[in-house]
A and B are shown apart, each in its own frame.
Chain A
């Protein structure tokens, strides 16, 4: 039990912060209420520090992913937190400023930050999940708060609609992967991922395939998780939800659930393993053919549909929504490529490539969303609250370089980064996907990935040229002004600086991703320890046995 606790310190830190925030956010005193964000920041930093220093080593096929994933969650989470400033309770606080009484009942600040932290906690748990039940709970802990965050994020009906839409489709996704998990349990008799992996691959070694029940279970659970990463055909909600939520929350949606989804996908696909070849299990480094075809089709569809639909949009948030779909497709290429040969590096390990890409995508997408979040439309005639609206149409960014040069620069750098232009971070993210997929022999997939990057260039160029190159004022009657929350712009600037600096000197980040992507084949010892520990689990607890609580009982 102690080992589990030791691995969960980051989450515990976040949970303590959550409790604090819940209380502080309801304070009558304005200054105290405003402490929510700083307290959350401290909590995230502490969690990140704990994750980075404690030895997180899960008993799964991806033992080192937990640490990387948790630090990544904390790092990008901090940037996202900066974006959240002023999202909750803005009208309420303005009313208080005008002399109205603070009504705790109407306030949503405490919940908003608490949900933010909960979701981040879910993401961290996902990275460290070693059991199907654990994974399910972690995925749900990531997603459930986001439904509320979307609905709370603005006062418009559109956000409500987005929240409800997101919730119902999310519930459907959850039902699917839960059903899948049940079938996997049925096929393997265990919920511990290490055992599932061992059983499935052991069987595959004997019979040459992973068996119909396990396959059905994996397919269903993967399809369910595809909802989290917004892969085609589970992407239908994306554009509406991204557009409906406040931009800061959209940035959150574009990273946190996607990241959790990819952790889950890698863990699940890892159960089937990348050891199939033309002569069945053990003769190659590919996925089981059925899964490969499934993921291959989804990856190609996701990239292409995402990019082509993004071309047709005029709303910045919808463009970014479809681009986020496309990026999920790129990352699926890494999943298909798999860990490559033993002793593989970032260049040949597709899983490491995905983990590194998650980092690059997180930073760049926060950057682009921060530009939208740092601006707002204000009716010229009045200064009342109701007259403030979000920036949405791409035209509203026109001539930004003249008014807010720093925001224009952030947009240019981050959009070029998403485009994959060297030497920015996005390019370094894409290169390992290329090389690892080539190493796995997926040449057609690489060509499709390349062509998709080219299609994507067309709309990213619009994001570059409208704010930076086109002069003149937006054609809307409203004035586009910066929001009174400088931390949002700061988040963007930090992201943009990272995109450039890490592109030039990001070797360390890559090395961490490289290690995190280390894939360990399930071995007999995992199974053996489980059996040995079952009867006498109170006497000697092997490092990984205690985590399998539900199963051991």
Chain B
């Protein structure tokens, strides 16, 4: 039984089923299908050989479009497994969270949500570059529909902006991939977009070629992440999207960018990635601090969380470009953790919005007195987002910073390739191969402080303090559950007249949040099993990057080969002994 194929196609079949079922049963079918997806995933987890976690397993290949050498090739390594796991986990959560929020055109909504799940699963599983691109692009359509049909007031603009930004970026990514495929075709004599074939070809390119391919790939991925200054679509899309849309967007879609960087930008063009690491890290750090400061001045809670995504993913980016085991592992962990905690924050905000139809700081406050359960979750996930030790955010943020700190010990003004530098005694103790250094870590750490400021500010305003909510003036809040709206909020009142929500969270809403909370706690308290599975794939990438950078450095050093040789073993030895991923 090919569980992987089942996992990929089940949501798609579910979407078709939803389309042909009556409107009323759409959400039941969607719930059932997303829950059923856990079965093939768990089966995969069971069959996966965790001892060889860096090796692609469950290989499935079929011919797709022969004249161009396109194939339908799927496989999974541990990173794929983790990200697919996140997708599978968020699937039912998104569906169940939408029960009361979506009342019109439910069939369309749930069908596209299911299509989106297939597309996201496919991105992580694909091992043919065009197939990857197909899924990568196809996530745009469901998200476009979800935002422009079910979003808030400015939804159409947001949907179009989201689509155009990401589409434009990824077309250049396609051009980059096509260029690598061309190189591969020249070398092999036949056309193929297979991941391994392209990787070999790309690594064989000259630095000049790698540079352009790297830039082309990064344009698409940087927009998707989003890296500052390509982030402007994100707050808009997040703010306008329906809750489930925001959850998927923050939880999985942004990870397509970082996953793309990890899987393609770093592995195809390692030398360029190394050379441009400082530049990308500068963008990452600027993103961390700038977006963090913007969060601070938001008047809309959802926008605040949206900008916090930009800030958080900055850590992810610097972790990736640290190019060492700690940084990369931390970055992959960050992808998961950010999906969990930010996804949960969006859910919580959605719950508030469903009750009070506002997300303004001005109109909300002191909800702890009215919604103790909600407030508990809010504080919990806010802390996870800040990176409180013991919760998931801390581990990954720390690892990203540590990786950055140790990476090379150069300053960002030192752009040039200086062979022999690695064995230099001027390196900080504990420093590893890499092109970043303490300065980057220091500035990024400032971002942590900013994060704490705006998250605590948000929690302080909304959860604590004097109770304040539209329709719940001080004298009205002791009215019956969910019916305390004043007349001037009649319109909003009518909206959920068909299914009044309790004052605090309902059982369904708690059920949505609990799995995320459990995952946060588990990854916060005992992340080592996960980190251990990341060791092998990350080490493979790191070794590869080192080898290529080294080879390139040697090639660029014709004058005194002895010196280079003298340094090379030192570096390789260092490379072998340096911080194992996951060992802290």
Residues on A close to B: CB < 8 A? 345-348, 416, 421-423, 427-428, 431-432, 434-435, 438-439, 443, 446-447, 450-451, 453-454, 457-458, 461, 465, 468-469, 504-507, 510-511, 513-514
* Docked CA distance A283–B69 (Å): 29
Say how far A418's CB is from chain B's closest CB, in angstroms.
13
B349 at the interface (CB under 8 A from A): no
| Contact among A454, A458, A507, A511 for B64, CB-based, below 8 A | A507
**Structural contact, A428 and B68, CB atoms closer than 8 A:** yes
Contacts of B174 in A (CB 8 A): 431, 434, 450
Decide: B167 and A510 in contact? CB cutoff 8 A.
no
Residues A454 and B171 in contact, CB atoms below 8 Å apart: yes
Contact A465 B175 (CB under 8 A): no
Q: Which of A345, A450, A511 has the most CB of B within 10 A?
A: A450
Chain B residues, Cβ within 8 Å of A513? 67
Provide the residues of chain A in CB contact with B141, threshold 8 Å. 416, 421
Inside 8 A of A514's CB, which chain B residues have their CB?
67
* Complex Cα spacing A348 to B171, Å: 19
What are 26 A-B contacts with C-beta separation under 8 Å? A347-B191, A348-B185, A416-B141, A421-B138, A421-B140, A421-B141, A428-B68, A432-B67, A435-B181, A435-B191, A438-B182, A439-B185, A443-B212, A447-B172, A450-B172, A453-B171, A458-B160, A458-B164, A461-B160, A465-B156, A465-B159, A468-B145, A469-B145, A505-B64, A507-B64, A510-B66
Q: Count A-B contacts at CB 8 Å.
A: 103
A469 pairs with B191, CB closer than 8 A: no
Q: Which residues of A contact B144 (CB under 8 A)?
A: 461, 465
Shortest Cβ distance from A349 into B: residue? B67
Query: With contacts A428-B65, A435-B68 known, is A422 near B160, CB below 8 A?
Result: no
**B63 proximity list for chain A (CB < 8 A):** 507
Which A residues lie within 8 Å of B130 (CB)? 422, 431
CB proximity of A308 to chain B, nearest CB, Å: 14
Closest B residue by C-beta to A441: B182
Q: Does B149 interact with chain A (Cβ within 8 Å)?
A: yes
A334 vs chain B, min Cβ distance (A): 14
B67 lies within 8 A of A451 (CB): no
Chain B residues near A434 (CB-CB < 8 A): 174-175, 178
> Are A457 and B67 in contact, with the CB atoms below 8 A?
no
Nearest chain A CB to B60 CB, angstrom units: 16
- Least Cβ distance of A244 to chain B in Å? 30
CA distance A511 to B66 in the complex (A): 8
Contacts A345-B191, A428-B65, A458-B160 given; indicate if A438 touches B168 (C-beta within 8 A). no
What A residues does B159 contact at CB under 8 A?
Answer: 465
User: CA separation between A5 and B175, bound complex, in Å?
Assistant: 45
Identify A435's interface contact among B65, B138, B171, B178, CB under 8 A. B178
* Contacting residues, chain A, for B67 (C-beta < 8 A): 345-347, 432, 507, 510-511, 513-514
Question: Chain A residue with minimal CB distance to B137?
Answer: A422
Report if B361 contacts A (CB, 8 A).
no
Known A438-B182, A447-B175, A461-B160; contact A421-B68, beta-carbon cutoff 8 A: no
Q: Which single residue of chain A is at the shortest CB-CB distance from B66?
A: A507
Complex contacts, A506 vs chain B, CB 8 Å: 65
Instruction: Report the minimum CB–CB distance from B556 to chain A (whole Å).
Output: 24
Q: In the assembled complex, which residues on chain A have CB atoms less than 8 Å from the CB atom of B65? A: 428, 506-507, 510
A453 contacts which chain B residues (CB < 8 A)? 167, 171
Q: Cα distance A348–B172 when bound, in Å? A: 19
Is B134 located at the chain interface by the 8 A CB criterion?
A: yes
Q: Tell me the minimal C-beta distance from A367 to chain B in angstroms.
A: 17
Which residues of chain B have C-beta atoms less than 8 A from A457's C-beta? 163-164, 167-168
As a 0/1 sequence over residues 179 to 207 of chain B, the CB contacts with chain A under 8 angstroms (1 = contact) are 10110010000110000000000000000
Query: How near does chain B come to A410, taking the closest CB pair, in angstroms?
Result: 16
Interface centre among A423, A428, A514 (most CB of B within 10 A): A423
Q: Are B191 and A348 in contact (CB under 8 A)?
A: yes
Chain B nearest CB: distance from A338 CB in Å? 15
Nearest Cβ distance between residue A278 and chain B, in whole angstroms?
Answer: 19
Residues of B within 8 A of A511 (CB): 66-67
Q: Could you give, for residues 360-393 of chain B, a 1 whenever the CB lies within 8 Å of some chain A CB and a 0 otherwise?
A: 0000000000000000000000000000000000
Whether B182 pairs with A450 at a CB distance below 8 angstroms is no
Q: How far is the CA of A427 from the CA of B137 in the complex (A)?
A: 11
Q: Please, which residue of chain A has its CB at the minimum distance from the CB of B72?
A: A504
CA of A345 to CA of B212, assembled, Å: 25
Contact in complex: B175, A347 (CB < 8 Å): no
Write the nearest CB–CB distance from A311 to chain B, whole angstroms: 11
Whole-angstrom distance between the alpha carbons of A346 and B67 in the complex? 6
- Please tell me if the beta carbons of B175 and A450 are within 8 angstroms of each other in the complex: yes
Docked complex Cα distance between A145 and B238 (Å): 54
Cβ of B353 under 8 Å from chain A: no
Report whether B68 and A510 are in contact in the complex, using a CB–CB cutoff of 8 Å: yes
A431 near B171 with CB under 8 A, answer no
Given contacts A345-B67, A422-B134, contact A446 B163 (CB under 8 A): no
Q: Which chain A residue shows the least CB distance to B181?
A: A435
Residue in B69, B133, B164 whose CB lies within 8 Å of A454: B164
A457 to B166, CA, bound (A): 11
Q: Which residues of B contact A465 (CB under 8 A)?
A: 144, 148, 156, 159
**Closest approach, in angstroms, between the C-beta of B544 and any C-beta of chain A?**
25
**A427 partner residues in chain B, CB cutoff 8 A:** 134
Q: How far is the CA of A461 from the CA of B67 in the complex (A)?
A: 29
**Contact (Cβ within 8 A) A432 B163:** no
Further contacts, 18 of them, CB under 8 A, given A438-B182, A507-B63: A345-B69, A346-B67, A346-B68, A421-B141, A422-B137, A428-B65, A428-B68, A431-B178, A432-B67, A435-B178, A435-B181, A435-B191, A447-B172, A451-B171, A457-B163, A469-B149, A504-B64, A513-B67
Which chain A positions have C-beta within 8 A of B137? Answer: 421-422
Residue of B nearest to A419 (CB): B167
CB distance from A358 to the nearest CB of B (A): 15
With A507-B65, A510-B65, A511-B67 in contact, is A435–B182 under 8 Å at CB?
yes
Evaluate contact between A439 and B182: CB separation under 8 angstroms: yes
Q: In the bound complex, what is the Cα–Cα distance between A465 and B158 (angstroms)? A: 13
Is the pair A446, B175 in contact by a Cβ cutoff of 8 Å? yes
Knowing A431-B178, A451-B168, A454-B171, say if A422 contacts B191 (CB, 8 Å).
no
Note all chain A residues with C-beta closer than 8 A to B64: 504-505, 507
CA distance A507 to B69 in the complex (A): 10
Give the docked Cα–Cα distance between A347 and B212 (Å).
21
> Closest approach, in angstroms, between the C-beta of B383 and any C-beta of chain A?
39
Shortest CB-to-CB span from A337 to chain B, Å, is 11
Q: For residue B133, which residues in chain A have a CB less than 8 angstroms away from its CB?
A: 422
